[in-house]
Amino acid sequence: MKARTSRSALIGIIVALSAAAPATAQGLPSDILHATLLEGWRTESGTQMAALRLDLAPGWKTYWRAPGEGGIPPRFDWSGSDNIGGVAFHWPMPEVFDINGMRTIGYRHELVLPIEIRPADASRPVSVSARIDLGVCEEICVPVTVDIAADLGQTARPDPVILASLDRMPEAGPKAGLSASRCTAEPIRDGLRLTSLLTLPQVGPDEFAVVELADQSVWVSQADTRRAGGDLRATADLVPANAKPFALDRSSVRITIFGGSGRVVEVQGCAG
């Protein structure tokens, strides 16, 4: 494998140049986005806790994994990497924005996204070569492609920047008082209609839910969110690529509740 630099500062310069190219082509500033790969550390369980750091120009934002109306979801291609057996993202709590009358979800100024990599062979180092497609927004939205590449070190010393981001995760359902998570699915012409019922204390004055599946090829509509006392109901349509009803793995359903007051609660899975 070709030798690569592994210092985060140098990687950041390389990524910033590749990210700037499409923005410059559209007559936009070249310093909208500066991206850095934080190498992180080997955890006690043997995974590598790294992070993607995005620094944005003043007034610019980037999107959460479920970006809301009109947003551009980030997509990661790890095919050029070596010794990666699996990847898990630990998304810190995002903000809700109103852009031109549309509700979007993301981050302003900075995003440190912890990425937990499971090596295929724990005795060997991890080499990352990834292409990331994402969107950044001010008054307009711009698609950007970021390339990152590094051989990750195997230090056991945690990075305080990554730890701080891990501390900003949404509240887990049980910690927020969730006592039941139930869901029903009914066939519709082009997929399924999922209705989730969460027994959960009110998260905030302006609650809305975002429904996601582990399978990102399935389109998920905005959820119709309603509260009745201690229960929160969220209904969303799920449409796969073949536009036909399908078997739903309820454990793969993730429901994130935004309270409108800065609180965000995440619920994984629901009982049928």
Largest CA distance in the chain: 60
Query: Would you give the distance in Å from CA 65 to the centre of its chain?
Result: 3
Instruction: Give dist(CA 161, CA 155) in Å, integer.
Output: 15
pLDDT in tens, 171-192: 999 999 999 999 999 999 999 9
Number of DSSP helices (H) and strands (E) in the chain, helices first: 2, 19
Class of domain 8-166: mainly beta
| Domain extent listing, the chain | 8-166, 171-268
Same topology between domain 8-166 and domain 171-268: yes
Q: Which amino acid is at 45?
A: S
CATH topology of domain 171-268: Immunoglobulin-like (2.60.40)
Centroid of chain to Cα 46: 23
What pLDDT, in 10s, does the model give residues 44-76? 999 999 999 999 999 999 999 999 988 889 999
Instruction: Look at the pTM and tell me if it is higher than 0.85.
Output: yes
DSSP strand pairing (264-268 vs 171-172): parallel
